[in-house]
Amino acid sequence: MNDFTILVANGAFASSVALTLDILSTAAVIAQRQGTAVPRWEICGVDTDCVTLGHGMQIAVQPLTTRFDDRSCWIIPGIGVADALTLEHRLKQADIALLIPALLSHVQSGGDVAASCSGVFVLQAAKLLAGHCVTTSWWLAPLLRQWAPECQVDADRMVIIDPPLITAGAALGHSDLMLHLLRSRFSPALADAVARALLIDGRQLQSPFMVPAMMAQGNELIAQLTAHIEDSLPATISVSALASSFGLSERTLSRHVHKATGYSPLRLIQRVQANKARELLANSKYSIDTIAEHVGYKDATSLRRLMKKMLNATPRQLR
């Protein structure tokens, strides 16, 4: 009996598929050397024996079958999309349509399903998200909130476990998902050994990587707000002044910003300040006090609080 079933859709992120196989293969080698249980898996596609991944790479697969006694965790890597329109079209294609009833059957039989990045939208298409807390790639989170209002989307977290679902963030966050699965289904020692062997840093948050304009998925107002906030630096613009600059009430501004990004206007302002500070830390030799002044904070202590809140890191860690 397999421990994992890897579901590979047409056009899937090749990196996520490769990460899955490399992590499991490494775990198998380490487990054999340690004399402990060895992970077993199979790679499956829907009604095919070969799947073309992103960038034209191909992988041999077994046709997916459903069994009532299958207790393997089904794993769905990102399905390789760049925007909402592409994602909507992709979810209507034949392989996804055939996968949905199989997912429902697996869950109804007591099986677990894990997905990362855009793969979480396959769970949404299967109507498996209702009542659950999930994550996805941070730039897709506003879209998932819009499409699946019946679930709670927490884009800050890298991995969320809400049985029978395990969800993870952006495409390379798939490594964090795989380490969690090894940790929960085998042992923390095995997961830690794999992480050390492959030099995978443990990450719990996506928030350090978020860019508001990308989260807005082409929303012109958010792009303009972000540019206006950044252009106003080193002055810190208030929420009321920001709303006034665009001829909006604070309530209307809040509604637009939250719908597009999941943020409040104040958090949007702080996000722009934090991202600008990170850019200056990486690309300048300014002192931390000087960078604080550049982004509208009076001293390094205030900047450290901002960075810890928004990026889960200190300025020194980002330099």
- Assess contact for 244 and 281: CB atoms under 8 A: no
Tens of pLDDT, residue by residue over 190-210, are 999 999 999 887 665 565 566
What is the predicted pLDDT for the residue at 103? Answer: 97
Which residue reads 């991944």 in tokens? Answer: 53
Write out the H or E segment, with its range, that includes residue 284.
none
Whole-number average pLDDT of the chain: 91
Instruction: Tell me the CATH number at 223.
Output: 1.10.10.60
* Residues 200 and 223 both lie in one domain: no
Q: Give 141: exposed, middle or buried? Use CB within 10 Å, 0-12, 13-18, 19+.
A: buried
**Could you tell me which residue, 142 or 97, shows the higher pLDDT?**
97
pLDDT at residue 70 above 70? yes
Question: Could you tell me if 197 and 235 lie in one domain?
Answer: no
Of residues 265 and 317, the one with the higher pLDDT is 265
Question: What pLDDT, on a 0 to 100 scale, did the predictor assign at position 259?
Answer: 81
Whether residues 194 and 223 fall in one domain: no
* Separation CA 23–CA 121 (nearest Å): 24
Residues 42 and 166 in one domain: yes
pLDDT in tens, 14-61: 999 999 999 999 999 999 999 999 999 999 999 889 999 999 999 999
Confidence class for position 217, pLDDT limits 50, 70, 90: low
CA dist., res. 31 & res. 70, Å (int) = 23
Same domain (yes/no): 143, 292: no
**Among 27-31, 133-137, 212-216, 235-239, which is the least confidently predicted range?**
212-216
| pLDDT at res. 216 | 60
Residue 14: per-residue pLDDT = 94
Final residue belonging to a domain, choices 159, 176, 207: 207
The CATH number of residue 197's host domain is: 3.40.50.880
Where do we find the tokens 């859709």? Answer: 9
Task: Decide if pLDDT at 93 tops 80.
Answer: yes
Please indicate, yes or no, whether residues 218 and 193 belong to a single structural domain of this protein: no
Confidence of residue 166 (pLDDT cuts 50, 70, 90): very high
Tokens of 59: 């992988």
Check residue 133 and give its pLDDT. 96
What lies within 8 Å, CB to CB, of 9 at 6+ separation is 45, 46, 51, 76, 79, 80, 95, 96, 99, 119, 122
Note the pLDDT tens digit of each residue in 220-229.
898 899 999 9
Same domain, 50 and 187: yes
Residues 177, 298 within the same domain = no
Find the domain containing 163 and state its range.
4-207
Total of domains in the chain: 2
Last residue of a domain, one of 190, 207, 224: 207
Q: Please return the burial class of 187, using the count of CB atoms within 10 Å of its CB with bins 0-12, 13-18 and 19+.
A: middle
Number of other CB atoms surrounding residue 156 within 10 Å: 17
- The letter for the amino acid at 122 is V
Spell out a b/e string for 190-223, using b for 16 or more CB atoms within 10 Å of the CB, else e. Answer: bbebbbeeeebeebebbbbbbebbbbbbebeebe
pLDDT in tens, 268-306: 999 899 889 988 988 888 999 999 999 999 889 999 998
Q: Distance between CA atoms of 74 and 112, rounded to whole angstroms?
A: 6
The predicted structure's pLDDT at residue 1 = 87
Average pLDDT estimate for 89-116: 95
Domain limit, last residue, from 207, 227, 257: 207
